[in-house]
Structure 1
Amino acid sequence: MLLYNLHGGGFMWKDIVRLSSLTIKNIKNVKNGTIIMPHGNNRSLDCGGAEILGIYGQNGSGKTAIVDTFSFLQQIMIGEGLDPKIGDYIDTDSESAEVNAEFNIFSENTLYEVGYNIIFAKSDDGIFIDREYINCAINYDGSRTNKNIFMDYKRNDNEAIFKPQKRLDELIGKNKNIKTDLIVAKKIAEKSNCSYIFGESSREILFNNESEKFKNYKIVLKALFRFAVRDLFVIDNSHSGMISTNVLLPMSFRVDKEKVGMKGDFAVPLMEPFVLDSERKELLGEIVDQINTVLYTIIPGMRIDIKDYGKQTLDSGEEGWKVELMSVRGDKKPIPIRMESDGIIKIISILNALIQAFSNSSICLVIDELDAGIFEYLLGELLDIFSKSAKGQLIFTSHNLRALEMLDKESIMFSTVNPDNRYIHMKNVKDSNNLRSMYIRSITLGGQEELIYEETDSLKISRAFRKAGKLLNEERKKGCDGNS
């Protein structure tokens, strides 16, 4: 669970950060692929309304690679050490991988077009950031600067703290102690195997710097960090896994109080009642209240209650409360939430995050397999409502094609067979076309710039099943003869 200060540290909390595109190279089975948000190329000073991007394609075609990349990107941008498993995601034929995230930051009649690029490299000791850099163009008062790199860190560059030297000089000014602090921060980042730009030691220096010449870049860095901490939600397949095993209900949430906000996953045990301290019990109550505001309209008449079994001492000796989540429908007797279907539990697990994305322009919610367990018609209704009335961004993968009938062509991208051009928009789509029908027709007949389905042969599949069945019968017969 992440805690963040809503008012401290000079953060520009009113800034709105929107993802415009994400490019990944040599990650899993994606040699090169770019997803583009519907408003990604818009340079207006107004961020506009909701943006939805659904990613569709056959199994193993790179959809989940996008979600996993968002997860790693978030960890890096909040200054955490690299997850060692990132090394397993680098393409087996490559020694490095690259991620480029493009953002639009809207701040006081100014638009910052920002790119954050990370290059990962393998070594005998694991994975590390070989290079990371940020570039920026500023749109203000009708003019736009060139998009130039303002902070470029290279791990193996022992001669420079970071480049370009001009930006470094602006940052240091006449205070030579800042230079020493930046050198120390670089050593700490390398030892901790985290981002130099967003690592804790660097942030303290960069965020508190008073240089007027570095002011715009400080705004950018603060806004990106805030976005990663407070506004980016990534819900991957581990959520569905916990739900399907009926062990935990992981509720993604964000709760803002007067001075301090909290964001993360509140994991609720499903098998039996559990014990919470007073602070977590209060937090669970706030999350449930927010969810109940919408839940009864999605699952007619349903709400969640927290059943309180009374006080119980925690292992630490502190006073706690034994509670259980219950499902309540009308006048019926409440039942434990674990008795509900996986689809309903899935909706509950993401609903607080959906509410946040619906009401906040800076929220970016990324969900893998959004359709898992959710009724097709309901999925379409939720997407339609979000596209027409929400404020934030929603990126999702799905196999259910209902979204293709509810969203416009700019809100859908398709994974392809070509690993060097993994994601494309469907071409030659007119407003009168049914995107779902076009997609199915393109699978069977082609006609797009890339092949979007690696054809399977039904006769070969049938023959393989018969062969497997024959082998099983032979093994079963041998087993019976051996026991006779």
Structure 2
Amino acid sequence: MRDMVVRLSSLSLMNIKNVKNGMILMPLAGEWSPKIGGAEILGIYGQNGSGKTAVVDALYFMQQIMLGLPLDNEISDYIDVDAPQAEVNAEFRIFDGDELFFEVGYHVVLAKKDTDIVIEREYLNCAVNKDGRRTNKNIFVDYQRSEPDCIFKPHKRFLEVTGKNKELQLDLLVARKMAEKSNSSYIFADGSREILIDKSGNEFTSYAHVIKALFNFACKDLFVIRSSHSGVISANTLLPMAFRVDKDRIGFKGDFTVPLTEPVVLNREKKDLLDEIVTQINTVLYTIIPGMNIEVRNYGKQALDSGEEGWKVELMSVRGEKRPIPIRMESDGIIKIISILNVLIQAFRNQSICLVIDELDAGIFEYMLGELLDIFSKSAKGQLIFTSHNLRALEMLDKDSIMFSTANPENRYIHMKNVKETNNLRSMYIRSITLGGQEEKIYEETDSLKIARAFRKAGRSLSK
């Protein structure tokens, strides 16, 4: 098979933060097509505390699980305090080249156990599209923690992997015990994943391709930028540059964090990586911030604590003939753009990239935000999911590219209904907040008189 391209189709949440039930749909989710399609943008809008960030956090934790990492202790704060468990279900379309090959669902159940959170169940189901025919969507790996005597279901698929090889069956059992001990995914933990991918028989081969494609997607193609990313920028201490670099057909990604308060000493490998990231950013930055480029100021060699040879460098902002200044002297908005620009470029050119950004509008000028989204929707190849409070996107994007969080925790996300081509979605949203008319209430009403009265009461209490 050629390189697999994985595209998120939908995400369902249950008992995550203040979302009892909710589903987001990517713009092409409702259209069945054998071809991959172009850019997909989904903006999520709604009042504070209505579940927008829950989508970003759920994707972040799902990515950690799909990487086979132990559950983050932080996840316990994201499960509804009144619910015994939470569920996340992601639907994907996997393309072989440009052709749809697999339709896959990944379902995870997280349960409270004493003071911990564990993966109670996880399963993968799949439909295969081949030669113009589509199979039924069936579960092919189903792990259930409450059934310790069954390594995974269905038994037919288990035998396709192991046959009568008792040693291989024992390896899968040991991998299960290790995954439970480390509190990580059984399907995607190193031990079991390697067996399912590398030691599968011919009958299991298609499913092995699915597991490998999903792991690679989580490893190198899914970027989740949470609000904490903007937080360190606002503190003016660090610049976390999300990046992906492709070398020898292998992509690797991460956050390259550079101190803003002082120069940093880097080894050869990190210095070369920083140079490459900056070069990519500069190809676009000067068009967004007219005339601006970034320079990696090299102050010369300096030994690292390990004794290894290093280089002392600092990021500088360069504008035309003006004297370069440290990047920390630029505004938070410019630094925010720099921090995400490399992955925006990647999502623009790469069909397999899914970029998720919480509070995309933080610090970014409204008009510029609209222009970036408009360009992305018309010319990009990848997927972009974002939350925002700035309503400019409602004037620039198609109605299928916007979902609204509601005041109903049992049905958190909806598309605006009765939207015509000539309607201004921004005006409709404001009107729906005040007059209603949608299938769910999209704003928990506030009373300006009560707010003013509360402020006056608080003011009087302070003056006593």
Q: Normalising to structure 2: TM-score of the pair?
A: 0.98
Partner of 1:478: none
TM superposition shift of 1:473: 1.1
**Maintained 8 Å contact 2:2/2:96:** no
C-alpha displacement of 1:260 = 4.4
- Greater alpha carbon shift after TM alignment, 21-30 vs 38-47: 38-47
Q: Given the alignment of the two structures, is residue 191 of structure 1 paired with residue 181 of structure 2, yes or no?
A: yes
Equivalent of 1:34, from 23, 28, 36?
Answer: 23
- Distance apart, 1:142 and its partner CA: 1.7
For residues 226 and 179 of structure 1, the distance between their equivalents in structure 2, rounded to whole angstroms, comes to 25
- The one-character-per-residue Cα deviations of 1:340-386 (angstroms, maximum 9, x if unpaired) are 00000000000000000000001000000000000000000000000
Q: Deviations over 1:186-221 (max 9, x none)?
A: 001001100000001111101102411001101110
* Alpha-carbon distance between aligned partners in 1 of 2:100 and 2:201, rounded to the nearest angstrom: 19
Query: In the aligned structure 1, how far is the partner of 2:257 from the partner of 2:123?
Result: 35
Would you say the 8 A contact 2:242–2:343 is kept in 1?
A: yes
In structure 2, what is the equivalent of residue 369 of structure 1? 359
User: Which residue is 1:50 aligned to?
Assistant: 39
Cα distance in 2 for residues equivalent to 1:142 and 1:323? 56
Gaps of 5+ in 2: none
Task: Confirm or deny: 8 A CA contact 1:357 1:364 kept in the other structure.
Answer: yes
Please give the alpha-carbon distance, in whole angstroms, between the structure 1 residues aligned to 2:8 and 2:29: 7
Q: Distance in 1 between matches of 2:206 and 2:279?
A: 39
Distance 1:267 1:339 in 2: 17
Partner of 1:116: 106
The residue aligned with 1:322 is 312
Listed one character per residue, the Cα deviations across residues 140-187 of structure 1 (whole Å, up to 9, x for unaligned) are 222111111111000120221100111111111232221111001000
Partners of 1:459 and 1:447 in 2: CA distance: 24
Q: Which residue of 2 aligns with 1:90?
A: 79
Q: Is residue 237–residue 261 contact of structure 2 (8 Å, CA) maintained in 1? A: yes
Show the counterpart of 2:342: 352
Alignment of 1:270-419 (within 5 A): 270-419=260-409
Corresponding residue of 1:244: 234
Structure 1 counterpart of 2:86, one-letter code: A
- Residues 199-278 of structure 1 aligned to structure 2 (within 5 Å): 199-258=189-248, 260-278=250-268
- Sort the Cα spacing of 1:405 and 1:363 in 2 relative to 1 into closer, same or farther, 3 A: same
Q: Distance in 1 between matches of 2:2 and 2:236?
A: 38
Instruction: Note the C-alpha offset of 1:261.
Output: 3.3
Partners of 2:251 and 2:91 in 1: CA distance: 26
Q: Distance in 2 between matches of 1:303 and 1:314?
A: 28
Residue 188 and residue 381 in structure 1: after superposition, are their counterparts in 2 closer, same or farther (change >3 A)?
Answer: same
Structure 1 residue ranges without an equivalent (≥5) = 1-11, 475-484
RMSD value, Cα: 1.0
1:110 shift after superposition: 4.5
Count of residues in Structure 1 that have an aligned counterpart in Structure 2: 463
Q: 1:140 corresponds to which letter in structure 2?
A: K
CA–CA distance in structure 1, aligned partners of residues 265 and 163 of structure 2: 54
1:81 is aligned to 70
SS in 1 for 2:369: helix
- Residue 219 of structure 1 aligns with an amino acid whose one-letter code is H
Cα distance in 2 between the residues matched to 1:459 and 1:259? 61
The aligned amino acid for 1:246 is: N
Please tell me the residue identity of whatever aligns with 1:64: T
1:61 aligns with 2:50: yes
Identify which of 10, 15, 27 aligns with 2:4.
15
Name 1:456's counterpart in structure 2: 446
Instruction: Map Cα deviations across residues 78-102 of structure 1 (whole Å, 9 max, x no partner).
Output: 1100001111110011110000000
The whole-number CA distance in structure 1 between the counterparts of 2:2 and 2:338 is 28
Identity among equivalent pairs (%): 71
The secondary structure found in structure 2 opposite 1:427 is: coil
One-letter amino acid of the counterpart of residue 19, structure 2: V
Q: Distance in 2 between matches of 1:91 and 1:175?
A: 43
**AA at the equivalent of 1:123:** K
* Greater displacement, 223-232 / 39-48: 39-48
**Residue identity matched to 2:359:** E
- Name the SS for the 2:421 alignment partner: coil
Q: Distance in 1 between matches of 2:32 and 2:161?
A: 28
Q: Residue in 2 aligned with 1:442?
A: 432
Q: Counterpart in 2 of 1:4?
A: none
Q: Deviations over 1:31-72 (max 9, x none)?
A: 000000001133322110000000000000000011011110
Q: Deviations over 1:272-331 (max 9, x none)?
A: 111111110000000000000000000000000000111111111111111100000001
* Residues 13 and 222 (structure 1), Cα distance of their counterparts in 2 relative to 1, 3 Å cut: farther
1:394-433: per-residue Cα shift (whole Å, max 9, x none)?
A: 0000000000000010000000000000000000000010
The within-5 A match list for 1:91-170 is 91-107=80-96, 109-170=99-160
Distance, in Å, in 2 between the alignment partners of 1:237 and 1:455 is: 26
Aligned to 1:471: 461
Distance 1:261 1:92 in 2: 39
CA contact (8 A) 1:43 1:111 kept: no
What is the CA deviation profile of residues 105-130 of structure 1, one whole-angstrom value per residue up to 9, with x for unaligned ones? 01154421100000000112411100
Structure 2 counterpart SS, 1:33: strand
